[in-house]
A and B are shown apart, each in its own frame.
Chain A
Amino acid sequence: MSHTAVSNGVQGPPAIVLDKVNKWYGAMHVLRDVTLTVAEKERVVVCGPSGSGKSTMIRCINRLETHQEGRIVVDGTELTDDIRALDTIRREVGMVFQSFNLFPHLTILENCTLAPIWVRKMPKAEAEALAMSYLERVKIPEQAKKYPGQLSGGQQQRVAIARALCMNPKIMLFDEPTSALDPEMIKEVLDTMIGLADDGMTMVCVTHEMGFARQVAHRVVFMDRGEIVESGTPAAVFEAPRTERLKLFLSQILRGH
Chain B
Amino acid sequence: MSDASLAVDHIPTAPRAQEKAPGLGPWAWLRANLFSSWWSTAVTLALGYVILRVLFALFEWGVVNAIWSVPYGANGMADTSVCQNAKGIGACWAVLTDKYRLILFGRYPYDEQWRPALVVLLFIGLYVVSAMRRFWRKELVLVWIAVLAAVGVLMWGGVLGLTPVSEDAWGGLPITLILATFGLAFAFPLAVLVALGRRAKRLPAVRLLCVLYVELIRGVPLISVLFMASVMFPLFMPEGLNVNKLLRAQIAFILFTGAYLAEVVRGGLQALPKGQAEAADALGLGYWQKTMLIILPQALRLVIPPLVNTFIGSFKDTSLVLIIGLFDLLTMGKVALSDPPWQGFSTEVYIGLAVVYIAFCFAMSTYSRSLERDLNRSGQR
Interface centre among A95, A105, A150 (most CB of B within 10 A): A105
Give every chain B residue within 8 A of A167 (Cβ-Cβ). 283-284
Kindly state whether residue B43 has any CB partner on chain A within 8 Å: no
- Closest chain A residue, CB of each to CB of B280: A103
Chain A residues numbered 77-105 whose CB sits less than 8 Å from any CB in chain B: 87, 90-91, 93-95, 97, 99, 101-105
Please tell me if the beta carbons of B379 and A149 are within 8 angstroms of each other in the complex.
Answer: yes
Q: Is the pair B380, A105 in contact by a Cβ cutoff of 8 Å?
A: yes
* Binary contact track A162-183/B, C-beta < 8 Å → 1, others 0: 0110010000000000000000
Contact of A105 among B3, B278, B284, B379 (CB under 8 A): B379
Closest chain-B Cβ to A56's Cβ sits at a distance in Å of: 13
Name the CB-closest residue of B to A148: B380
Interface presence of B245 (CB below 8 A): no
Q: In the bound complex, what is the Cα–Cα distance between A114 and B1 (angstroms)?
A: 23
Q: Is B282 part of the contact surface with A, judged by Cβ < 8 Å?
A: yes
Flag whether B378 is at the interface (Cβ < 8 A). yes
Contact A149 B283 (CB under 8 A): no
Known: A104-B381, A105-B379, A118-B289. A90 touches B275 (CB 8 A): no
Binding-face segment, B57-65, B84-92, B294-302, B318-326: B294-302
Q: How far is the CA of A163 from the CA of B48 in the complex (A)?
A: 62
Q: A164 vs B281: C-alpha distance in the bound complex, in angstroms? A: 12
Question: Which of A95, A107, A115, A147 has most chain B Cβ within 10 Å?
Answer: A115
A91 to B289 alpha-carbon distance, docked (Å): 14
Contact B3 A103 (CB under 8 A): no
Say yes or no for A64: interface residue by CB 8 A criterion: yes
**A105 with B298: in contact, given A64-B281, A115-B283, A118-B293 (CB under 8 Å)?**
yes
Once A103-B294, A118-B293, A149-B379 are accepted as A-B contacts, the answer to whether A90 and B284 lie under 8 Å apart by CB is yes
Are B279 and A103 closer than 8 Å at their CB atoms?
yes
Once the chains bind, are B379 and A101 in contact (CB under 8 Å)?
Answer: no
Chain B CB within 10 A, most for which of A62, A97, A103, A148: A103
Q: A104–B379 contact, CB under 8 A? A: yes
Q: CA separation between A148 and B273, bound complex, in Å?
A: 15
Instruction: Give the shortest distance, in Å, between B296 (CB) and chain A (any CB).
Output: 10
Tally chain A residues at the interface, Cβ within 8 Å. 28
User: B96 to nearest A CB, angstroms?
Assistant: 47
Query: Per-position contact with B for A24-68: 1 when CB-CB < 8 Å, else 0?
Result: 000000000000000000000000000000000000001010000
Answer whether residue B285 sits at the interface, using C-beta atoms and an 8 A cutoff.
Answer: yes
B284 close to A119 (CB less than 8 A): yes
| Contact for B285 among A104, A118, A148, CB less than 8 A | A118
In the complex, B338 has a CB within 8 A of chain A: no
Q: Collect the chain A residues with CB atoms within 8 Å of residue B273's CB.
A: 99, 101
B128 on the A face (CB < 8 A): no
Complex Cα gap A103–B275 (Å): 10
- From residue A96, how far is it (CB to closest CB) to chain B in Å? 9
Q: A87, A97, A107, A146: which contacts B279 (Cβ < 8 A)?
A: A97
Chain A contacts for B244, CB-based, 8 A: none
Closest to B298 in A: A105
B33 lies within 8 A of chain A by Cβ: no
Which residues of chain A are near B276, meaning CB under 8 Å? Answer: 101, 103
- Across the interface, name the chain B residue whose C-beta is closest to A63: B281
Please name all residues of chain A whose beta carbon is closer than 8 Å to the beta carbon of B275 when the two chains form the complex: 97, 99, 101
- Give 16 A-B contacts (CB < 8 Å), ordered by A residue: A64-B281, A90-B284, A91-B284, A99-B275, A101-B273, A102-B279, A103-B276, A103-B279, A104-B379, A105-B380, A115-B285, A119-B289, A147-B379, A149-B1, A149-B380, A150-B379
B→A interface (CB under 8 Å): 1, 3, 6, 273, 275-276, 278-286, 289, 293-294, 297-298, 301, 378-381
**Residues of A near any B CB (own CB < 8 A):** 62, 64, 87, 90-91, 93-95, 97, 99, 101-105, 107, 114-115, 118-119, 146-150, 163-164, 167
With A64-B281, A118-B289, A150-B6 already in contact, 5 other A-B pairs whose C-beta atoms are closer than 8 Å:
A90-B281, A90-B284, A97-B278, A104-B379, A105-B380
